[in-house]
Every structure is written in C-alpha cells, then in structure tokens.
Amino acid sequence: MSSSAVPSFSPDAPEIHADPYPAFGRLRELDPLHRSDLGYWVVSRHEDVRSVLMDRQGFGQGDFVENIRLFYGPDFDVMGQRAYKWLSEVFLMQDPPHHTRVRGLVTGALNAKRVRAMEPRIREIADDLIDAMLAAGRAEFIKDFAYQLPVRVMCDMLGIDPGDPRLPEVMDAIARSFIVFEARALTEQELAEANEQIGVLQAFFEELFADRMVNPQDDLATALVQSGGQEDALSHEELVTVAIGLFGAGFETTAHMLGNGILSFAQNRQQWAALVADPRNRSAAAVDETLRFESSLIATYRTALAETQIRGETIYPGEKVLTLIGAANRDPRLFDDPDRFDIGRDARKHLSFGGGIHFCAGAELARLEGRIAFEQLAEQMPDLEADCAAPEWRPGFLFRGLSRLPITW
C-alpha cells in the first residue's frame, strides 16, 4: 500500500535508530501521507503533523485497548498487563473530559510564575554539578549532568530527598517501563520487565503520598494529596499515576535534550563558539535549536475520532496516525537548510513540545533548565568537547537520547 518510492516505515529499522533523518526526509518529500504495513498512517510534513495534533475534533487518543490491540492482535489482554493498565490512566493517553480535569491540576503546579520562581534553585543545582565535574577532571555528560539536573529539579518539586538510596532504582524503573509508550508490540521479556518496573514505581510513590498525608510539607506531593478534599479530587491511585508520569516526563526528555544539545555543539564547533561568545543572550535560542534539530521525542501518535481528510485521502474513525515530530522539525518549507544546526536561526516553530490540548505541560520548565544548563556550561567550560565520533543512542524509537557522552574541557 505504501508509495513504491518509499519502503514501508518501521520504527524498529536499525538505520532509523542510527539516524532517522534520511528516512524521515524521504517520507516527507516523497510520501507525506504514508501507509505503513504495520497498519497505521504516518505524517511527516510540518503542516500535517501540526494539524493532526491541533485538530481536537478529528483526532484524539480514542479507545486505548483497541489501540494497543492493533500491535498485539484482537485477543491480547491489555488491561491484564500492569504497565498498560497504568498507561491507560496517564492523562496524556486520555481525551476530555478526564484529560481536562487532571491536566488542570498539573498545569497549575507548573505554571510560568511557579517555574520562574525555581530559577535560582536550578542555577544552584547546575553550578554544583559543574563544580563536581571540574573537580573530578573528567566526566560522562549523560550520567554526571544531563540526568542529574532534571532529576534533582523533579525531586525538589515533588519533595523527594535527592539522597534517597532508592532513587537510582526509581530512575532505572522509569527508563525500563516507559517503553510501553512505543508504538509497537513489545517482546515478552520487555513487557514482563515493564510490568515489574511499574510495580516498583507505584510502591515508591504510594509510600511518598502516604507519608505526606501524615507529614504535610511545602511540596507538590503534599499539594496533590491535599487536593483530595476537593469536589473533583483525584483518587489515591490517580495521584500515584500522575506522579509517575510527571516524574518520568520531567526527567527523561529533558536529560535527552541536554545530551542531544551537547552532542550537536560538539559536532558543530563554530556553533559552540557562538554560544560561548554570549551565553546569556544565546542560550534560549540554543535550546530551541536543539529541540528542533535533535528532538528528544521524535514522534507521537493519535487516533482518528471522526472521518477526516489528509492530502485528499480519507482517514476513518479508529485509524491510527503516527506524527513524525522529528521530520516536521526539518521541513524545508519552514526552516532554511534544515539539516544544519544553527543557533542563530529562529527555531521556535519546532513541534518538539507537541501542540493542541496535550501541549507539553512542562515546556516552560524544560526550556528554563536547558537555558540555564547551556549558559552555565558555556561560561564555566568554554573549551568543552565531546566524543561525538560514534554517538551511542539509547534503544527505542519515540524517545531519542544518548546512553553516554564522554566530555573533556
């Protein structure tokens, strides 16, 4: 069914993992409404990705169980899997009105004013991490900085002790269970592991909320627990689901953004020199260009809720559409010479935070963390270089980030 010029799209293809952009470019230019043999549509032009994400009448999340059964077959027991049951309750995967109710609670906690108030603390955390790297004389950027900064920020927000000995296990559990977001059937082993790791996360956050019920503090965990008295309050189970989602969304994508940025700078030394020449004024643009050029979430998907036309083709209710954010971000119709990393351009029309009613609830926070990180790294490590000869990308398709990136300075 796919256009003869373009082979059927598969997120598992090894060449996509190494470098998705040539395949994304072929789809975007030659077959912009692609029908994958895997049973879903793929859109890749900026205009189409944006309109699918923005069109709340035509597209949404739809029937969760049916969506997952598309990958596994009609008899698959979706809700019998702890990880899928959890995912079905994550508000990102839901349509209004449930989505609206939970999102309101979360965006309240992450609004621009509250995020601005976090700036001094984020600067302090970034400084401490840079000092530790300088003192050690060598560093592996992903482990020593990219993960540490957003994790500590999320710990601060939720009121988790950053020295909690269970934290490494919790971070690992996030990485291994978020594989359920992937648009494909997991192997038996991956699924068993995701089910187990969601259990680890649920136990951790249940304990946190139980503690805040008896020991209220000035943190988001307490605010969430205390919202319990209100009319449209979240149940205890919903609170745990929100906390896992927030904690995970809050650090994985942000860590990848920081790593992808430093990799892109290492591959484009003149751009690093431009940042170093004026870190304070250029770091915001560096964040947007990083998000555009090497987005840490390269795709998401939607289900058609009503009969809708894309490029003259009818998409029927229940059909799934994969929206390739990474392809849209390099659409030459929007961005000149799109395969060039250039912090001097206006990259703000990238779609890396999505769009419409699911627009990233943490975008302000992620931007602030990125701006502070790039600014302070450029100021304090102006000669920073990274080993970028053969980047080691983490497994998986949707979340794009490095597993390691040794740096020197």
Q: In 162-234, which residue ranges form alpha helices assigned H by DSSP?
A: 167-177, 188-214, 220-226
Closest residue by beta carbon to ligand HEM: 362
Q: Rounded to whole angstroms, how far apart are CA atoms 64 and 56?
A: 17
State the residue for tokens 């692609």.
34
23 versus 361: smaller Cβ distance to ligand HEM? 361
36 versus 94: smaller Cβ distance to ligand HEM? 94
Minimal distance in Å, beta carbon 396 to ligand HEM? 14
349 versus 382: smaller Cβ distance to ligand HEM? 349
Site for ligand HEM, rule CB under 6 A: 53, 91-92, 103, 106, 110, 245-246, 249-250, 253-254, 257, 296-297, 300, 352-354, 358, 360-362, 365-366
Q: Rounded to whole angstroms, how far apart are CA atoms 184 and 72?
A: 8
Minimal distance in Å, beta carbon 5 to ligand HEM? 29
User: By C-alpha distance, which of 143, 141, 148 is closest to 163?
Assistant: 148
250 versus 391: smaller Cβ distance to ligand HEM? 250
103 versus 212: smaller Cβ distance to ligand HEM? 103
Minimal distance in Å, beta carbon 289 to ligand HEM? 13
| Concatenated DSSP letters of 279-332 | HHHHHHHHHHHHHHHT-SB--EEEEESS-EEETTEEEPTT-EEEE-HHHHTT-T
Angle between helix 82-89 and 64-72 (nearest 10): 140
286 versus 297: smaller Cβ distance to ligand HEM? 297
257 versus 407: smaller Cβ distance to ligand HEM? 257
Torsion, Cα 104 231 201 393, to 10 degrees, reads -10
Minimal distance in Å, beta carbon 30 to ligand HEM? 25
Q: Rounded to whole angstroms, how far apart are CA atoms 58 and 303?
A: 9
220 versus 407: smaller Cβ distance to ligand HEM? 220
Minimal distance in Å, beta carbon 235 to ligand HEM? 18
Minimal distance in Å, beta carbon 390 to ligand HEM? 24
Minimal distance in Å, beta carbon 127 to ligand HEM? 20
Minimal distance in Å, beta carbon 136 to ligand HEM? 26
Q: Rounded to whole angstroms, how far apart are CA atoms 11 and 181?
A: 13
Q: Rounded to whole angstroms, how far apart are CA atoms 48 and 298?
A: 15
Q: Rounded to whole angstroms, how far apart are CA atoms 362 and 107?
A: 8
The answer to whether 397 and 17 are in contact (CB under 8 A) is yes
